[in-house]
Amino acid sequence: MSAAASSRGTTPQATESRRIVILRHAKADWPDVDDHERPLAERGRKDAPIAGRRLADAGIVPDLALCSTAARTRETWKLAVHELPQRPKTVYEDRLYEASLGELIAVLNETPDDVRDLLLVGHNPGMHALADALAGEAEGDLLPRMNRSGFPTASIAVITFEGSWKGVEHGVGRLVQFWAPHE
């Protein structure tokens, strides 16, 4: 660590480029069960591995995955992660279920700075709101395309930013990828 970095109390990791990968759970079924326990529908079980392949094809292997504890998010992640070349550390996070935008940003702010690429598996409207709020800039027409689509099930948004996770706030990032399975 340089003397300048040491005197500012920062680490080299705090200023590096980072990625937030936002994955909305795949299509869920509507059986007569509590919302938290809703499983994936047949289409969701087909789309989740495709989302995982999309991540692998883009060279995205997160250091850490935070996944809502809901059945449909856990099942989405289980099917998607098998497509990645290596399995990242996964934490099932209660706070991601029905999380507000503020709660999602608070979770991001708690991420350790040794994590470069973080993947969130969660629910709308939170996942869409988070991607929209963090994307101060976007490549090409990605932001209007994402907002027109409404962030459908099994969609993925990738946002890059510079700095520490503690500094994640509205407009901090750049939307560099958006993918929806049925575009």
For position 14, what pLDDT does the model report?
56
Of 117, 112, 63, the closest CA to residue 87 belongs to: 63
Per-residue pLDDT tens digits for 117-129: 999 999 999 999 9
For position 2, what pLDDT does the model report?
35
Q: For residue 179, what are the CA distances in angstroms to 4, 89, 98?
A: 40, 23, 23
- Domain 17-179 belongs in CATH node 3.40.50.1240: yes
Q: What share of the chain has pLDDT > 90, as a percent?
A: 90
Asked whether the beta carbons of 143 and 175 are under 8 A apart, the reply is yes
Which of 12-21, 22-31, 126-135 has the least mean pLDDT?
12-21
CA 37 remoteness from chain centre? 21
Per-residue pLDDT tens digits for 98-116: 999 999 999 999 999 999 9
The residue extents of the domains of the chain are: 17-179
CA 183 remoteness from chain centre? 19
CA angle 50, 90, 74 (to 5 degrees): 55
**Residue 16 pLDDT class (50, 70, 90 cuts):** confident
Q: How many residues belong to the chain? A: 183
